[in-house]
Structures are given as C-alpha cells and as structure tokens.
Amino acid sequence: MNFVVIGLLLVPQLFAAAPPPADDRTFDGDYRYRNESNEKLWVEDVTGLMACGYLIPDCEKGVHEGRFRCPAEVVIKWKVRGKQGWKTQTLKLPRARRDAELIFQYTKEGKWEVFFEQKQKLYPRFDR
C-alpha cells in the first residue's frame, strides 16, 4: 500500500522534470523587432509570423501570440523608406527557448539577425 502511494506521488514529478525533446520548437510566442539602423523601415511580411509594420530607428516593437511552434526558417520582406523596391532575406531561426523572446534585429549594415534573448522579469523574485 505504501509503495502505491509513493509511486503516485513520484511518477508525475518524473514526467514534469523531463526536458523537452531535442526537436521541440515550441516557444512562448513573444517576439520583438528592433531597428538598430538610422533608416525608417516598413516590415511587410514574415513567413508564418505577424509583421510589425512601421519601425523607426533605434526603436522596437513587440508581439505576443501565445505559445506556438517556431518555424525553422522565415523569409522577411521589408522596405526602406525613401528607397525603391522591396528587400527579402531568409533567416534560419535558432532552436526555440522557453522563457525567452525571439528577436529580429535590423543592423546598421542593413541585414537582419535573429536570436533568442532571456525575458526581462517585471518583478524581482525574493528568495527567503
């Protein structure tokens, strides 16, 4: 009888502690667009994700879609204000991380970088 009670208490904890599978691409659904350049951008499309629209220099826009499966790669389509023609770039996305935001960063060189960044906690945790 004692073994049954102990088993019922321990088995759920064993499953909860197991790490996600290596091919799991699920993340929290928080991502952010940053513009590190001096150019004004219009982000028209990002394959499978919500585009941010207008993005001014040295600013960022955040999106929260809720937890979903992160694609392995996306194509981002944007236009630089005052210049003709649309630009596209294929980005391979890093392995998904929980408790992190996916960052799409437009660099001063005019290229996109993508990476996960640890989320900032709104309230500090006080351990007793």
pLDDT tens digits, residue range 84-93?
A: 999 999 999 9
Q: How many domains does the chain have?
A: 1
Instruction: Say how far apart CA 6 and CA 118 lie, in whole Å.
Output: 37
Q: Which among 49, 56, 64 has a CA at the least distance from the CA of 34? A: 56
Instruction: Say how far apart CA 45 and CA 41 lie, in whole Å.
Output: 12
- Indicate if the pLDDT at residue 57 is higher than 80: yes
* 86 is a domain residue: yes
Show the domain range for 48: 21-118
- The reported pTM is 0.74
* 8 is a domain residue: no
- Indicate if the pLDDT at residue 77 is higher than 90: yes
Q: What are phi and psi of 54, to 5 degrees?
A: -75, 130
Instruction: Say how far apart CA 12 and CA 124 lie, in whole Å.
Output: 29
* 10 is a domain residue: no
Q: What are phi and psi of 6, to 5 degrees?
A: -65, -40
Where does the pLDDT of residue 53 fall: very low under 50, low under 70, confident under 90, or very high at 90 and above? very high
* 90 is a domain residue: yes
